[in-house]
Amino acid sequence: MNSITIILTQGYSDWEIAVLTGVGRAFFNADIRFTSADGGTVTSVGGVVTEALDRFEAPGQGVVVVCGGPTFEGDTPPDLSARLRQAHENGCVVAGICGGTLALARAGLLDRARHTSNGAGYLDAAAGYGGAALYVDQPQALRDGSIITAPAPAPASFAMEVLKAAGVEPQAAGSIMDMLAKEHGMRAGS
């Protein structure tokens, strides 16, 4: 299985990666690594403090995940564009959920891939975004080749797509959706 590198930022939305990190490690023994835009310490919106993070550098393989958070919607979002493009060029699958999709849009990674996010027009805030014609308005995560995107309320389908990209068998990864959907009396694909 390939490694999964998760980029955290100050005020990151911890629930957006909770299913991925918890189920990924507990059920699939996923190699999950945490970094931040500039290294150091970050605190999630829920108050989880993560210390001594390395600065994100583009890995040579695996999956890179940009966790969302309000910092991507602010006036001075972290500049990850060159490093995300490099990861993609290195052959990594690059994924973003919620505000993390803004980072992918700013990097130009959504200009040629079908993608989703928090709603029509949300990505217009990303300078240079040229993928509006490829936007798909849907509530679940979407994978197009080596790009995975998801709106904020889709951490389960996002986890499933990221784990499949890392090498988990699709049927096994799909069990996440089946397990979590039981709470709502639904089945995956319903």
Domains of the chain: 4-184 (3.40.50.880)
Q: What is the pLDDT of residue 175?
A: 87
Q: What is the pLDDT of residue 180?
A: 80
Q: What is the pLDDT of residue 187?
A: 56
Rounded CA gap, 133 and 47, in Å? 37
Judge whether residue 190 has pLDDT over 60: no
Judge whether residue 163 has pLDDT over 90: yes
Judge whether residue 98 has pLDDT over 80: yes
Cβ neighbours around 190 below 10 Å, total: 8
* For residues 142-166, average pLDDT: 97
Q: What is the pLDDT of residue 179?
A: 82
Interacting residues of 169 by C-beta distance below 8 A, sequence separation 6+ = none
Name the residue among 122, 61, 119 with its Cα closest to residue 92. Answer: 61
* For residues 150-158, average pLDDT: 96
Orientation of helix 15-28 relative to helix 170-181, angle to 10°: 120
The average confidence (pLDDT) of the chain is: 94
Q: What is the pLDDT of residue 185?
A: 65
